[in-house]
Amino acid sequence: MHSHSDILDGFLSDLDATRESEYDYFNKHSVTFPSRNEIITIIKKIQCLMFPDYFRIDGDLGKSRRELADELFLSLKRQITSAYAFFDEDRTVDTETIAYSIMESIPSVKAKLMKDVIAIYEGDPAARSPEEIILSYPGFYAISIYRVAHEFYLKSIPYISRIMTEYAHEKTGIDIHAGATIGEYFFIDHGTGIVIGETTTIGDRVKIYQGVTLGAKSFELDSDGNPVKGIKRHPDIGNGCVIYANATILGGNTRIGDGCVIGGNVWLTHSVAPGEKVYYK
């Protein structure tokens, strides 16, 4: 019978063998990974600074907003540095300037989120107050993280935006890629199961219900049979559209015109003219 020590040694040896096979596939092995935990804390600190009466971190109680802002800057700089180092061995990027630029974008993110609150409050008869939306609505929570993550995406900062939106996905069941372009007064009702792809564009005053997918119709392949990255794959949704539960709209050439109503369970892979109503029969 093997001893406890022998079993542990064998266990660790087997794990090391799998790491060797990882090296044949993955690209980076000798640099510091971005910290998922610290990136989630960055989200929470930004939420606290934008909405101090609604979002709080237990360990930060009693700290001034200036202290929180200083901690946020240091965390941003550290994680942006790690992200670039992991992505590219060239570490000459001015991460301090990038961290400041992210912080400078936060007031405009808050202004957009306040418009989202208005859209939800005015569009949902169950909403008793704007405060209730900020405190409890999963749709608003996911949108708040998306709008922060989108700033990282626009600045081409590796990995961080994806970690942020996947955290929102984990918490709410709402999957919004940070690369999607979403207009003002955006309303997600209920939200569970929503998927919004990277190259989706959504206009102003759009309302989306649970289970909606704005996805890719198919993937263009390169000569080796791998999906081509960086091309338009997801639909465009015009201003003032309403998309009801479990509708699926696919394709980079699919355009839903302004003012359209897309009924529940509809499957669309073609464009729809402005003002049309499309229902499943």
> Which amino acid does the sequence have at 84?
Y
Domain ranges for the chain, please list them: 33-174, 180-281
Question: What pLDDT is attached to residue 69?
Answer: 95
Question: What pLDDT is attached to residue 90?
Answer: 58
Question: Diameter of the chain by CA atoms?
Answer: 75
**CATH of the domain spanning 33-174:** 1.10.3130.10
Backbone angles phi, psi at 243, to 5 degrees: -125, 115
CA 44, CA 6: separation in Å to the nearest integer? 44
- Each residue's pLDDT expressed in tens, for the chain with a length of 281 residues: 689 999 899 898 888 777 666 656 565 555 678 999 999 999 999 999 999 999 988 877 778 899 999 999 999 999 999 998 887 755 578 999 999 999 999 999 999 999 999 999 999 999 999 999 999 999 999 999 999 999 999 999 989 999 999 999 999 999 999 999 999 999 999 999 999 999 999 999 999 999 999 999 977 777 777 877 888 999 999 999 999 999 999 999 999 999 999 999 999 999 999 999 999 87
CA 200, CA 176: separation in Å to the nearest integer? 10
CA 240, CA 263: separation in Å to the nearest integer? 14
Model pTM greater than 0.85? yes
| 66's tokens | 């200036």
> Which amino acid does the sequence have at 53?
D
Q: What top-level class would CATH report for the domain 180-281?
A: mainly beta
The strand pairing partners of 175, in sequence order, are: 195
For residues 46 and 40, the answer to whether their CB atoms sit within 8 Å is no
Question: What pLDDT is attached to residue 19?
Answer: 67
CA 197, CA 182: separation in Å to the nearest integer? 11
Question: What pLDDT is attached to residue 252?
Answer: 96
